[in-house]
Structure 1
Protein backbone atom coordinates (compact mmCIF):
# COMPACT_ATOMS: atom_id res chain seq x y z
CA UNK A 1 0.00 0.00 0.00
CA UNK A 2 1.28 3.47 -0.88
CA UNK A 3 1.19 6.43 1.47
CA UNK A 4 -0.52 9.78 0.90
CA UNK A 5 0.64 12.55 3.23
CA UNK A 6 -1.81 15.32 4.10
CA UNK A 7 -0.20 18.55 5.31
CA UNK A 8 -2.67 20.54 7.38
CA UNK A 9 -1.56 23.89 8.92
CA UNK A 10 -3.56 24.82 12.01
CA UNK A 11 -3.79 28.13 13.81
CA UNK A 12 -6.53 28.39 16.44
CA UNK A 13 -8.67 25.80 14.68
CA UNK A 14 -10.02 23.87 17.67
CA UNK A 15 -13.52 23.75 16.16
CA UNK A 16 -12.46 22.40 12.77
CA UNK A 17 -9.94 19.64 13.43
CA UNK A 18 -12.30 16.78 14.27
CA UNK A 19 -14.73 17.77 11.52
CA UNK A 20 -11.85 17.82 9.03
CA UNK A 21 -10.54 14.42 10.08
CA UNK A 22 -13.97 12.77 9.84
CA UNK A 23 -14.58 14.25 6.37
CA UNK A 24 -11.20 13.17 4.99
CA UNK A 25 -11.47 9.71 6.56
CA UNK A 26 -14.69 9.13 4.61
CA UNK A 27 -12.90 10.06 1.38
CA UNK A 28 -10.12 7.56 2.09
CA UNK A 29 -12.74 4.89 2.79
CA UNK A 30 -14.10 5.48 -0.71
CA UNK A 31 -10.60 5.50 -2.23
CA UNK A 32 -9.80 2.13 -0.61
CA UNK A 33 -13.27 0.65 -1.07
CA UNK A 34 -12.29 -1.94 -3.66
CA UNK A 35 -8.62 -2.35 -2.71
CA UNK A 36 -6.17 -0.84 -0.27
CA UNK A 37 -4.53 1.82 -2.43
CA UNK A 38 -3.40 4.54 -0.05
CA UNK A 39 -2.60 4.76 3.63
CA UNK A 40 -3.18 8.35 4.88
CA UNK A 41 -0.50 10.17 6.82
CA UNK A 42 -2.04 13.18 8.55
CA UNK A 43 0.54 15.84 9.36
CA UNK A 44 -1.12 18.57 11.43
CA UNK A 45 1.18 21.54 11.95
CA UNK A 46 0.20 23.61 14.98
CA UNK A 47 1.37 27.13 14.18
CA UNK A 48 1.59 28.47 17.73
CA UNK A 49 -2.14 28.32 18.46
CA UNK A 50 -3.41 29.96 21.65
CA UNK A 51 -6.61 27.90 21.94
CA UNK A 52 -7.10 24.15 22.48
CA UNK A 53 -5.79 23.17 19.04
CA UNK A 54 -2.74 21.33 20.40
CA UNK A 55 -4.67 19.36 23.04
CA UNK A 56 -7.22 18.28 20.41
CA UNK A 57 -4.41 17.17 18.11
CA UNK A 58 -2.90 15.16 20.93
CA UNK A 59 -6.22 13.42 21.61
CA UNK A 60 -6.69 12.70 17.91
CA UNK A 61 -3.18 11.28 17.65
CA UNK A 62 -3.82 8.94 20.60
CA UNK A 63 -6.98 7.69 18.90
CA UNK A 64 -5.18 7.09 15.57
CA UNK A 65 -1.47 6.65 16.39
CA UNK A 66 -0.63 4.95 13.10
CA UNK A 67 -1.94 7.64 10.78
CA UNK A 68 -2.20 10.93 12.71
CA UNK A 69 0.87 12.98 13.59
CA UNK A 70 1.34 16.54 14.75
CA UNK A 71 4.17 19.07 14.87
CA UNK A 72 3.80 22.01 17.22
CA UNK A 73 5.76 25.24 16.80
CA UNK A 74 7.31 27.15 19.70
CA UNK A 75 5.41 30.25 18.51
CA UNK A 76 3.41 31.50 15.54
CA UNK A 77 5.69 31.44 12.49
CA UNK A 78 3.01 31.87 9.81
CA UNK A 79 1.33 29.61 7.29
CA UNK A 80 4.27 29.57 4.89
CA UNK A 81 6.52 28.16 7.60
CA UNK A 82 3.85 25.62 8.53
CA UNK A 83 3.66 24.46 4.91
CA UNK A 84 7.45 24.19 4.73
CA UNK A 85 7.51 22.16 7.95
CA UNK A 86 4.84 19.77 6.68
CA UNK A 87 6.63 19.25 3.39
CA UNK A 88 9.91 18.58 5.19
CA UNK A 89 8.26 16.01 7.50
CA UNK A 90 6.16 14.22 4.88
CA UNK A 91 7.09 10.71 3.82
CA UNK A 92 4.24 9.84 1.44
CA UNK A 93 4.50 8.76 -2.18
CA UNK A 94 1.99 11.53 -2.84
CA UNK A 95 1.68 14.70 -0.77
CA UNK A 96 -1.39 16.92 -0.43
CA UNK A 97 -1.61 20.40 1.08
CA UNK A 98 -5.01 21.22 2.59
CA UNK A 99 -6.67 23.78 4.86
CA UNK A 100 -8.32 22.41 7.98
CA UNK A 101 -11.43 24.58 7.55
CA UNK A 102 -12.70 22.32 4.69
CA UNK A 103 -12.82 25.17 2.21
CA UNK A 104 -10.63 22.76 0.26
CA UNK A 105 -13.10 19.93 -0.54
CA UNK A 106 -11.47 16.56 0.22
CA UNK A 107 -13.90 14.95 -2.27
CA UNK A 108 -11.52 16.10 -5.02
CA UNK A 109 -8.73 13.81 -3.80
CA UNK A 110 -9.81 10.69 -5.78
CA UNK A 111 -9.89 12.72 -9.01
CA UNK A 112 -6.51 14.27 -8.20
CA UNK A 113 -5.01 10.83 -7.57
CA UNK A 114 -6.38 9.51 -10.89
CA UNK A 115 -4.88 12.43 -12.81
CA UNK A 116 -1.43 11.74 -11.34
CA UNK A 117 -1.62 7.95 -11.70
CA UNK A 118 -3.27 7.73 -15.11
CA UNK A 119 -2.45 10.99 -16.92
CA UNK A 120 1.16 11.40 -15.84
CA UNK A 121 0.81 14.69 -13.96
CA UNK A 122 3.27 15.59 -11.22
CA UNK A 123 0.94 18.07 -9.56
CA UNK A 124 -2.81 18.67 -9.49
CA UNK A 125 -3.75 22.09 -8.14
CA UNK A 126 -7.13 23.67 -7.50
CA UNK A 127 -8.80 26.94 -8.44
CA UNK A 128 -11.83 28.56 -6.84
CA UNK A 129 -14.40 29.59 -9.43
CA UNK A 130 -15.77 32.34 -7.23
CA UNK A 131 -14.69 33.98 -3.99
CA UNK A 132 -17.85 33.68 -1.97
CA UNK A 133 -17.88 34.99 1.54
CA UNK A 134 -15.40 37.75 0.73
CA UNK A 135 -16.19 41.41 0.41
CA UNK A 136 -16.22 42.88 -3.06
CA UNK A 137 -13.18 45.03 -2.36
CA UNK A 138 -11.13 42.09 -1.08
CA UNK A 139 -12.16 39.89 -4.02
CA UNK A 140 -11.35 42.69 -6.48
CA UNK A 141 -7.92 43.31 -4.96
CA UNK A 142 -7.18 39.59 -4.91
CA UNK A 143 -7.92 39.33 -8.63
CA UNK A 144 -5.77 42.38 -9.37
CA UNK A 145 -2.92 40.92 -7.34
CA UNK A 146 -2.78 37.89 -9.64
CA UNK A 147 -2.89 40.19 -12.67
CA UNK A 148 0.04 42.20 -11.32
CA UNK A 149 2.20 39.26 -10.28
CA UNK A 150 1.63 37.53 -13.62
CA UNK A 151 2.70 40.72 -15.41
CA UNK A 152 5.92 41.21 -13.42
CA UNK A 153 6.96 37.65 -12.58
CA UNK A 154 8.81 35.19 -14.79
CA UNK A 155 6.50 32.37 -13.69
CA UNK A 156 2.77 32.19 -14.19
CA UNK A 157 0.61 31.81 -11.10
CA UNK A 158 -2.94 30.73 -11.87
CA UNK A 159 -5.53 33.32 -10.76
CA UNK A 160 -7.48 32.26 -7.66
CA UNK A 161 -5.25 29.19 -7.25
CA UNK A 162 -5.39 27.63 -3.81
CA UNK A 163 -2.58 26.08 -1.81
CA UNK A 164 -4.68 22.90 -1.99
CA UNK A 165 -2.87 20.54 -4.32
CA UNK A 166 -1.56 16.99 -4.68
CA UNK A 167 2.08 16.44 -5.64
CA UNK A 168 4.41 13.56 -6.38
CA UNK A 169 7.33 12.76 -4.11
CA UNK A 170 9.78 13.95 -6.78
CA UNK A 171 8.21 17.40 -6.91
CA UNK A 172 8.07 17.67 -3.11
CA UNK A 173 11.75 16.73 -2.82
CA UNK A 174 12.59 19.52 -5.26
CA UNK A 175 10.56 22.05 -3.27
CA UNK A 176 12.11 21.07 0.05
CA UNK A 177 15.60 21.42 -1.47
CA UNK A 178 15.05 25.16 -1.93
CA UNK A 179 16.87 26.86 0.99
CA UNK A 180 15.20 30.27 0.95
CA UNK A 181 13.85 31.75 4.19
CA UNK A 182 11.31 34.07 2.58
CA UNK A 183 8.76 31.75 1.01
CA UNK A 184 5.71 32.32 -1.17
CA UNK A 185 4.37 28.82 -1.74
CA UNK A 186 2.13 29.57 -4.70
CA UNK A 187 5.12 31.05 -6.51
CA UNK A 188 7.42 28.20 -5.48
CA UNK A 189 4.95 25.58 -6.72
CA UNK A 190 4.89 27.34 -10.09
CA UNK A 191 8.62 28.07 -10.23
CA UNK A 192 9.79 24.46 -9.85
CA UNK A 193 7.78 23.53 -12.94
CA UNK A 194 6.73 19.89 -13.40
CA UNK A 195 3.67 18.79 -15.30
CA UNK A 196 0.72 20.49 -13.60
CA UNK A 197 -3.01 20.71 -14.16
CA UNK A 198 -5.79 22.41 -12.23
CA UNK A 199 -9.27 21.44 -11.08
CA UNK A 200 -11.89 24.14 -10.64
CA UNK A 201 -14.47 23.98 -7.88
CA UNK A 202 -17.14 26.12 -6.27
CA UNK A 203 -15.94 27.92 -3.15
CA UNK A 204 -16.95 26.22 0.07
CA UNK A 205 -17.93 27.79 3.40
CA UNK A 206 -15.75 27.21 6.44
CA UNK A 207 -16.65 24.11 8.43
CA UNK A 208 -16.35 26.12 11.66
CA UNK A 209 -14.75 29.24 13.08
CA UNK A 210 -13.70 32.36 11.22
CA UNK A 211 -10.78 33.34 9.02
CA UNK A 212 -7.66 34.55 10.84
CA UNK A 213 -6.41 36.59 7.86
CA UNK A 214 -6.89 40.33 8.30
CA UNK A 215 -6.98 42.72 5.36
CA UNK A 216 -3.51 44.09 6.15
CA UNK A 217 -2.07 40.58 6.46
CA UNK A 218 -3.37 39.81 2.97
CA UNK A 219 -1.84 43.05 1.65
CA UNK A 220 1.53 42.20 3.20
CA UNK A 221 1.26 38.66 1.82
CA UNK A 222 0.69 40.08 -1.66
CA UNK A 223 3.65 42.45 -1.35
CA UNK A 224 5.88 39.58 -0.19
CA UNK A 225 4.78 37.49 -3.16
CA UNK A 226 5.64 40.22 -5.66
CA UNK A 227 9.01 40.99 -4.06
CA UNK A 228 9.96 37.31 -3.74
CA UNK A 229 9.33 36.57 -7.41
CA UNK A 230 10.11 39.76 -9.26
CA UNK A 231 12.59 42.64 -9.37
CA UNK A 232 10.06 44.77 -11.28
CA UNK A 233 9.50 47.18 -8.34
CA UNK A 234 13.22 48.03 -8.40
CA UNK A 235 13.03 48.67 -12.13
CA UNK A 236 9.94 50.83 -11.65
CA UNK A 237 11.75 52.88 -9.00
CA UNK A 238 14.70 53.30 -11.38
CA UNK A 239 12.48 54.47 -14.22
CA UNK A 240 10.50 56.83 -12.01
CA UNK A 241 13.71 58.33 -10.65
CA UNK A 242 15.20 58.68 -14.15
CA UNK A 243 12.07 60.33 -15.56
CA UNK A 244 11.96 62.72 -12.59
CA UNK A 245 15.57 63.73 -13.21
CA UNK A 246 14.86 64.38 -16.90
CA UNK A 247 11.82 66.49 -16.03
CA UNK A 248 13.85 68.42 -13.46
CA UNK A 249 16.56 69.19 -16.07
CA UNK A 250 13.92 70.33 -18.56
CA UNK A 251 12.33 72.57 -15.94
CA UNK A 252 15.74 74.01 -15.03
CA UNK A 253 16.49 74.83 -18.68
CA UNK A 254 13.03 76.39 -19.02
CA UNK A 255 13.64 78.67 -16.02
CA UNK A 256 17.03 79.81 -17.39
CA UNK A 257 15.67 80.49 -20.90
CA UNK A 258 12.68 82.34 -19.48
CA UNK A 259 14.93 84.47 -17.27
CA UNK A 260 17.19 85.37 -20.22
CA UNK A 261 14.39 86.17 -22.67
CA UNK A 262 11.65 87.66 -20.51
CA UNK A 263 13.62 88.62 -17.47
CA UNK A 264 13.02 87.88 -13.82
CA UNK A 265 12.24 84.63 -12.19
CA UNK A 266 8.78 83.21 -12.02
CA UNK A 267 7.28 83.84 -8.60
CA UNK A 268 5.48 81.01 -6.93
CA UNK A 269 6.60 79.52 -3.67
CA UNK A 270 3.62 77.12 -3.49
CA UNK A 271 4.53 75.53 -6.81
CA UNK A 272 8.18 75.27 -5.74
CA UNK A 273 7.24 73.59 -2.46
CA UNK A 274 4.92 71.21 -4.31
CA UNK A 275 7.72 70.21 -6.68
CA UNK A 276 10.12 69.65 -3.78
CA UNK A 277 7.57 67.51 -1.93
CA UNK A 278 6.84 65.57 -5.12
CA UNK A 279 10.48 64.77 -5.76
CA UNK A 280 11.03 63.98 -2.09
CA UNK A 281 8.08 61.60 -2.18
CA UNK A 282 9.53 59.81 -5.20
CA UNK A 283 12.84 59.45 -3.40
CA UNK A 284 11.22 58.01 -0.28
CA UNK A 285 9.08 55.69 -2.41
CA UNK A 286 12.16 54.40 -4.19
CA UNK A 287 14.06 54.00 -0.92
CA UNK A 288 11.10 52.10 0.51
CA UNK A 289 11.16 49.61 -2.36
CA UNK A 290 14.91 49.22 -2.03
CA UNK A 291 14.50 48.76 1.72
CA UNK A 292 12.04 45.89 1.20
CA UNK A 293 14.58 44.02 -0.91
CA UNK A 294 17.42 44.77 1.50
CA UNK A 295 15.24 43.53 4.36
CA UNK A 296 14.65 40.25 2.51
CA UNK A 297 18.39 39.89 1.91
CA UNK A 298 19.05 40.65 5.59
CA UNK A 299 16.71 37.86 6.70
CA UNK A 300 18.23 35.40 4.22
CA UNK A 301 21.79 36.09 5.37
CA UNK A 302 20.90 35.38 9.01
CA UNK A 303 20.32 31.71 8.10
CA UNK A 304 17.75 31.34 10.83
CA UNK A 305 15.43 28.31 10.63
CA UNK A 306 12.05 28.84 8.99
CA UNK A 307 10.36 27.32 12.04
CA UNK A 308 11.07 25.74 15.43
CA UNK A 309 9.27 22.53 16.34
CA UNK A 310 8.79 22.40 20.09
CA UNK A 311 6.81 19.18 20.22
CA UNK A 312 5.89 16.44 17.81
CA UNK A 313 4.38 12.98 17.78
Structure 2
Protein backbone atom coordinates (compact mmCIF):
# COMPACT_ATOMS: atom_id res chain seq x y z
CA UNK A 1 0.00 0.00 0.00
CA UNK A 2 1.30 3.43 -0.92
CA UNK A 3 1.74 6.16 1.66
CA UNK A 4 0.24 9.67 1.70
CA UNK A 5 2.09 12.28 3.77
CA UNK A 6 0.06 15.32 4.82
CA UNK A 7 1.99 18.41 5.90
CA UNK A 8 0.10 20.78 8.20
CA UNK A 9 1.85 23.97 9.38
CA UNK A 10 0.45 25.36 12.64
CA UNK A 11 1.09 28.62 14.48
CA UNK A 12 -0.99 29.35 17.58
CA UNK A 13 -3.62 26.82 16.49
CA UNK A 14 -4.48 25.03 19.75
CA UNK A 15 -8.21 25.30 18.91
CA UNK A 16 -7.95 23.82 15.41
CA UNK A 17 -5.47 20.90 15.46
CA UNK A 18 -8.01 18.52 17.01
CA UNK A 19 -10.76 19.71 14.67
CA UNK A 20 -8.46 19.14 11.70
CA UNK A 21 -7.69 15.56 12.71
CA UNK A 22 -11.39 14.81 13.26
CA UNK A 23 -12.23 16.20 9.79
CA UNK A 24 -9.44 14.18 8.18
CA UNK A 25 -10.57 10.99 9.96
CA UNK A 26 -13.94 11.24 8.23
CA UNK A 27 -12.37 10.98 4.76
CA UNK A 28 -9.44 8.68 5.59
CA UNK A 29 -11.43 5.52 4.79
CA UNK A 30 -12.14 6.83 1.27
CA UNK A 31 -8.45 6.62 0.34
CA UNK A 32 -6.58 3.36 -0.16
CA UNK A 33 -3.30 4.66 1.25
CA UNK A 34 -1.32 4.59 4.47
CA UNK A 35 -1.67 8.08 6.01
CA UNK A 36 1.11 10.06 7.64
CA UNK A 37 0.15 13.42 9.16
CA UNK A 38 3.05 15.76 9.92
CA UNK A 39 2.13 18.82 11.97
CA UNK A 40 4.78 21.54 12.00
CA UNK A 41 4.53 23.77 15.08
CA UNK A 42 6.04 27.06 13.95
CA UNK A 43 7.10 28.29 17.38
CA UNK A 44 3.56 28.69 18.74
CA UNK A 45 3.09 30.69 21.93
CA UNK A 46 -0.14 28.95 22.98
CA UNK A 47 -0.85 25.27 23.74
CA UNK A 48 -0.53 24.06 20.15
CA UNK A 49 2.42 21.78 20.96
CA UNK A 50 0.59 20.26 23.94
CA UNK A 51 -2.39 19.44 21.71
CA UNK A 52 -0.08 17.93 19.10
CA UNK A 53 1.58 15.72 21.68
CA UNK A 54 -1.83 14.46 22.79
CA UNK A 55 -2.75 13.59 19.21
CA UNK A 56 0.57 11.86 18.62
CA UNK A 57 0.12 9.65 21.67
CA UNK A 58 -3.39 8.65 20.60
CA UNK A 59 -2.74 8.14 16.87
CA UNK A 60 0.38 6.46 15.48
CA UNK A 61 0.00 8.13 12.06
CA UNK A 62 0.43 11.56 13.64
CA UNK A 63 3.89 13.13 13.89
CA UNK A 64 5.01 16.60 14.83
CA UNK A 65 7.96 18.95 14.41
CA UNK A 66 8.35 21.87 16.80
CA UNK A 67 10.58 24.84 15.93
CA UNK A 68 12.71 26.69 18.47
CA UNK A 69 10.92 29.91 17.46
CA UNK A 70 8.62 31.26 14.76
CA UNK A 71 10.40 30.90 11.41
CA UNK A 72 7.35 31.47 9.20
CA UNK A 73 5.01 29.31 7.16
CA UNK A 74 7.50 28.88 4.31
CA UNK A 75 10.04 27.33 6.68
CA UNK A 76 7.32 25.10 8.12
CA UNK A 77 6.36 23.86 4.65
CA UNK A 78 9.99 23.16 3.80
CA UNK A 79 10.55 21.23 7.05
CA UNK A 80 7.42 19.18 6.41
CA UNK A 81 8.47 18.35 2.87
CA UNK A 82 11.86 17.20 4.16
CA UNK A 83 10.24 15.04 6.83
CA UNK A 84 7.61 13.47 4.55
CA UNK A 85 8.26 9.88 3.45
CA UNK A 86 5.10 9.26 1.43
CA UNK A 87 4.77 8.27 -2.21
CA UNK A 88 2.37 11.22 -2.41
CA UNK A 89 2.58 14.41 -0.38
CA UNK A 90 -0.22 16.84 0.46
CA UNK A 91 0.08 20.34 1.89
CA UNK A 92 -2.86 21.74 3.88
CA UNK A 93 -3.79 24.51 6.31
CA UNK A 94 -4.88 23.43 9.78
CA UNK A 95 -7.82 25.86 9.99
CA UNK A 96 -9.93 23.76 7.55
CA UNK A 97 -10.08 26.51 4.95
CA UNK A 98 -8.62 23.69 2.84
CA UNK A 99 -11.46 21.11 2.82
CA UNK A 100 -10.18 17.57 3.62
CA UNK A 101 -13.12 16.07 1.69
CA UNK A 102 -11.33 17.06 -1.53
CA UNK A 103 -8.35 14.82 -0.72
CA UNK A 104 -9.79 11.54 -2.11
CA UNK A 105 -10.58 13.18 -5.46
CA UNK A 106 -7.19 14.89 -5.61
CA UNK A 107 -5.33 11.70 -4.75
CA UNK A 108 -7.27 9.69 -7.33
CA UNK A 109 -6.35 12.13 -10.12
CA UNK A 110 -2.64 11.99 -9.21
CA UNK A 111 -2.69 8.18 -8.94
CA UNK A 112 -4.07 7.92 -12.47
CA UNK A 113 -0.70 9.21 -13.69
CA UNK A 114 -1.70 11.94 -16.13
CA UNK A 115 -0.95 14.70 -13.63
CA UNK A 116 1.95 15.09 -11.21
CA UNK A 117 0.03 17.38 -8.89
CA UNK A 118 -3.50 18.47 -8.11
CA UNK A 119 -3.76 21.97 -6.69
CA UNK A 120 -6.71 24.05 -5.53
CA UNK A 121 -7.96 27.57 -6.09
CA UNK A 122 -10.76 29.62 -4.57
CA UNK A 123 -13.69 30.47 -6.82
CA UNK A 124 -14.34 33.68 -4.90
CA UNK A 125 -13.05 35.76 -2.02
CA UNK A 126 -16.24 35.93 0.04
CA UNK A 127 -15.52 36.90 3.62
CA UNK A 128 -12.34 38.75 2.70
CA UNK A 129 -12.05 42.53 2.91
CA UNK A 130 -12.37 44.44 -0.37
CA UNK A 131 -8.95 46.08 0.04
CA UNK A 132 -7.25 42.75 0.67
CA UNK A 133 -9.06 41.16 -2.30
CA UNK A 134 -8.10 44.06 -4.57
CA UNK A 135 -4.40 43.84 -3.73
CA UNK A 136 -4.46 40.03 -4.07
CA UNK A 137 -5.90 40.29 -7.59
CA UNK A 138 -3.36 42.96 -8.52
CA UNK A 139 -0.54 40.76 -7.22
CA UNK A 140 -1.49 37.83 -9.46
CA UNK A 141 -2.08 40.14 -12.41
CA UNK A 142 1.30 41.86 -12.19
CA UNK A 143 3.50 38.91 -11.24
CA UNK A 144 2.18 37.01 -14.27
CA UNK A 145 3.13 39.99 -16.44
CA UNK A 146 6.63 40.58 -15.11
CA UNK A 147 7.84 37.01 -14.52
CA UNK A 148 8.00 33.71 -16.36
CA UNK A 149 5.55 32.22 -13.86
CA UNK A 150 1.86 31.74 -14.48
CA UNK A 151 0.31 31.80 -11.03
CA UNK A 152 -3.40 31.02 -10.90
CA UNK A 153 -5.48 33.74 -9.25
CA UNK A 154 -6.83 32.42 -5.97
CA UNK A 155 -4.40 29.49 -5.88
CA UNK A 156 -3.91 27.91 -2.47
CA UNK A 157 -0.96 26.00 -1.03
CA UNK A 158 -3.38 23.06 -0.67
CA UNK A 159 -2.22 20.43 -3.16
CA UNK A 160 -1.27 16.76 -3.60
CA UNK A 161 2.06 16.02 -5.30
CA UNK A 162 4.03 13.00 -6.46
CA UNK A 163 7.30 12.10 -4.78
CA UNK A 164 9.21 13.16 -7.90
CA UNK A 165 7.76 16.67 -7.78
CA UNK A 166 8.42 16.98 -4.03
CA UNK A 167 12.06 15.94 -4.51
CA UNK A 168 12.39 18.60 -7.22
CA UNK A 169 11.05 21.29 -4.87
CA UNK A 170 13.42 20.13 -2.13
CA UNK A 171 16.38 20.42 -4.51
CA UNK A 172 15.96 24.21 -4.27
CA UNK A 173 17.35 25.05 -0.84
CA UNK A 174 17.12 28.85 -1.06
CA UNK A 175 16.54 30.63 2.25
CA UNK A 176 13.99 33.23 1.17
CA UNK A 177 11.24 30.97 -0.14
CA UNK A 178 8.00 31.61 -2.03
CA UNK A 179 6.36 28.20 -2.29
CA UNK A 180 3.62 29.14 -4.73
CA UNK A 181 6.33 30.21 -7.15
CA UNK A 182 8.54 27.20 -6.44
CA UNK A 183 5.71 24.75 -7.06
CA UNK A 184 5.13 26.46 -10.39
CA UNK A 185 8.79 26.87 -11.34
CA UNK A 186 9.65 23.14 -11.12
CA UNK A 187 7.05 22.46 -13.79
CA UNK A 188 5.21 19.11 -13.92
CA UNK A 189 1.60 18.73 -15.00
CA UNK A 190 -0.78 20.31 -12.50
CA UNK A 191 -4.57 20.03 -12.42
CA UNK A 192 -6.57 22.71 -10.58
CA UNK A 193 -9.76 22.13 -8.61
CA UNK A 194 -11.92 25.14 -7.71
CA UNK A 195 -13.98 25.43 -4.54
CA UNK A 196 -15.88 28.12 -2.67
CA UNK A 197 -13.98 30.13 -0.10
CA UNK A 198 -14.31 28.92 3.49
CA UNK A 199 -13.95 30.67 6.82
CA UNK A 200 -11.70 29.40 9.60
CA UNK A 201 -13.37 26.91 11.91
CA UNK A 202 -11.82 28.53 14.99
CA UNK A 203 -9.17 31.00 16.12
CA UNK A 204 -7.90 33.94 14.10
CA UNK A 205 -5.47 34.22 11.22
CA UNK A 206 -1.84 35.15 11.89
CA UNK A 207 -1.60 36.80 8.45
CA UNK A 208 -1.90 40.58 8.68
CA UNK A 209 -2.25 42.85 5.65
CA UNK A 210 1.38 43.93 5.99
CA UNK A 211 2.50 40.33 6.37
CA UNK A 212 0.77 39.44 3.12
CA UNK A 213 2.25 42.51 1.43
CA UNK A 214 5.74 41.46 2.53
CA UNK A 215 5.03 37.95 1.21
CA UNK A 216 3.92 39.41 -2.14
CA UNK A 217 7.10 41.51 -2.39
CA UNK A 218 9.12 38.37 -1.71
CA UNK A 219 7.36 36.72 -4.63
CA UNK A 220 8.24 39.58 -6.97
CA UNK A 221 11.88 39.68 -5.87
CA UNK A 222 12.31 35.90 -6.05
CA UNK A 223 10.89 35.38 -9.51
CA UNK A 224 11.29 38.64 -11.43
CA UNK A 225 13.94 41.26 -12.21
CA UNK A 226 11.27 43.65 -13.53
CA UNK A 227 11.75 46.09 -10.60
CA UNK A 228 15.38 46.52 -11.65
CA UNK A 229 14.25 47.21 -15.21
CA UNK A 230 11.88 49.81 -13.76
CA UNK A 231 14.84 51.51 -12.05
CA UNK A 232 16.70 51.67 -15.36
CA UNK A 233 13.65 53.06 -17.16
CA UNK A 234 13.09 55.63 -14.42
CA UNK A 235 16.72 56.74 -14.71
CA UNK A 236 16.44 57.16 -18.48
CA UNK A 237 13.15 59.06 -18.14
CA UNK A 238 14.50 61.49 -15.55
CA UNK A 239 17.58 62.16 -17.66
CA UNK A 240 15.36 62.96 -20.66
CA UNK A 241 13.19 65.23 -18.53
CA UNK A 242 16.31 66.97 -17.20
CA UNK A 243 17.61 67.63 -20.74
CA UNK A 244 14.19 68.92 -21.87
CA UNK A 245 14.00 71.13 -18.80
CA UNK A 246 17.45 72.58 -19.49
CA UNK A 247 16.47 73.34 -23.10
CA UNK A 248 13.27 75.04 -21.90
CA UNK A 249 15.25 77.20 -19.47
CA UNK A 250 17.69 78.31 -22.18
CA UNK A 251 14.91 79.10 -24.69
CA UNK A 252 12.91 81.03 -22.10
CA UNK A 253 16.02 82.96 -21.05
CA UNK A 254 16.64 83.97 -24.71
CA UNK A 255 13.02 84.93 -25.45
CA UNK A 256 12.34 86.62 -22.12
CA UNK A 257 15.72 87.90 -20.85
CA UNK A 258 14.20 90.11 -18.15
CA UNK A 259 11.99 87.41 -16.64
CA UNK A 260 13.07 84.80 -14.15
CA UNK A 261 13.08 81.40 -15.87
CA UNK A 262 11.62 79.53 -12.91
CA UNK A 263 10.82 80.53 -9.35
CA UNK A 264 12.04 78.72 -6.25
CA UNK A 265 8.81 76.65 -5.88
CA UNK A 266 9.40 75.09 -9.29
CA UNK A 267 13.00 74.39 -8.36
CA UNK A 268 11.90 72.77 -5.08
CA UNK A 269 9.41 70.52 -6.87
CA UNK A 270 12.04 69.42 -9.39
CA UNK A 271 14.52 68.63 -6.62
CA UNK A 272 11.90 66.64 -4.71
CA UNK A 273 10.94 64.72 -7.85
CA UNK A 274 14.48 63.65 -8.67
CA UNK A 275 15.23 62.88 -5.01
CA UNK A 276 12.16 60.66 -4.86
CA UNK A 277 13.19 58.77 -7.99
CA UNK A 278 16.68 58.25 -6.56
CA UNK A 279 15.39 56.99 -3.22
CA UNK A 280 12.90 54.66 -4.90
CA UNK A 281 15.64 53.28 -7.12
CA UNK A 282 17.99 52.77 -4.19
CA UNK A 283 15.22 51.03 -2.26
CA UNK A 284 14.53 48.57 -5.08
CA UNK A 285 18.22 47.85 -5.64
CA UNK A 286 18.73 47.53 -1.89
CA UNK A 287 15.96 44.93 -1.69
CA UNK A 288 17.76 42.72 -4.19
CA UNK A 289 21.07 43.23 -2.38
CA UNK A 290 19.36 42.26 0.87
CA UNK A 291 18.22 39.00 -0.75
CA UNK A 292 21.81 38.26 -1.78
CA UNK A 293 23.03 39.13 1.73
CA UNK A 294 20.53 36.80 3.41
CA UNK A 295 21.35 33.94 1.05
CA UNK A 296 25.12 34.26 1.45
CA UNK A 297 24.90 34.06 5.25
CA UNK A 298 23.71 30.49 4.69
CA UNK A 299 21.84 30.26 7.98
CA UNK A 300 19.51 27.28 8.45
CA UNK A 301 15.95 27.83 7.23
CA UNK A 302 14.63 26.53 10.56
CA UNK A 303 15.80 25.02 13.84
CA UNK A 304 13.97 22.05 15.35
CA UNK A 305 13.53 22.03 19.12
CA UNK A 306 11.79 18.66 19.29
CA UNK A 307 10.02 16.19 17.03
CA UNK A 308 8.38 12.81 17.12
Sort the TM-score into its range (normalised by shorter chain).
over 0.9
Equivalent residue for 1:60, pick from 35, 55, 59: 55
Q: How does 1:152-231 map to 2 (within 5 A)?
A: 152-231=146-225
- Which range is displaced more, 184-193 or 246-255? 246-255
Q: Does 1:281 align with 2:276?
A: yes
Aligned twin of 1:262: 256
| Residue 300 of structure 1: aligned partner | 295
Corresponding pairs, count:
307
Partners of 1:97 and 1:261 in 2: CA distance:
71
Name the counterpart of 2:132: 138
- Structure 1 equivalent of residue 12 of structure 2: 12
The match for 1:48 is 43
Tell me how far apart the structure 1 counterparts of residues 216 and 65 of structure 2 sit (CA, whole Å): 27
The secondary structure found in structure 2 opposite 1:91 is coil
Q: Secondary structure at the match of 1:157?
A: coil
Asked if 1:112 is matched to 2:106, the reply is yes
Name whichever of 131-140 and 280-289 sits farther off.
131-140
> Structure 2 unaligned runs (5+)?
none
Shift of 1:26: 1.3
Tell me the CA shift for residue 205 of structure 1: 1.6
Alignment partner, residue 241 of structure 1: 235
2:141 aligned with 1:127? no
1:91 aligns with 2:52: no
**In structure 2, which of residues 76, 89, 92 is the aligned counterpart of residue 82 of structure 1?**
76
3-state SS of 1:266 partner: coil
Secondary structure of the corresponding residue to residue 15 of structure 2? coil
Identify the residue that residue 34 of structure 1 maps to in structure 2.
none
4-13 vs 141-150, greater mean Cα deviation: 141-150
Which residues of structure 1 form unaligned runs of 5+? Answer: 32-36
Give 4+ residue runs of structure 1 displaced > 6 Å after superposition: none
Query: Secondary structure of the residue that 1:173 maps to in structure 2?
Result: helix
TM-score, scaled to structure 1:
0.96
Decide which of 94, 99, 113 is 1:100's aligned counterpart.
94
Q: Shift of residue 119 of structure 1? A: 4.8
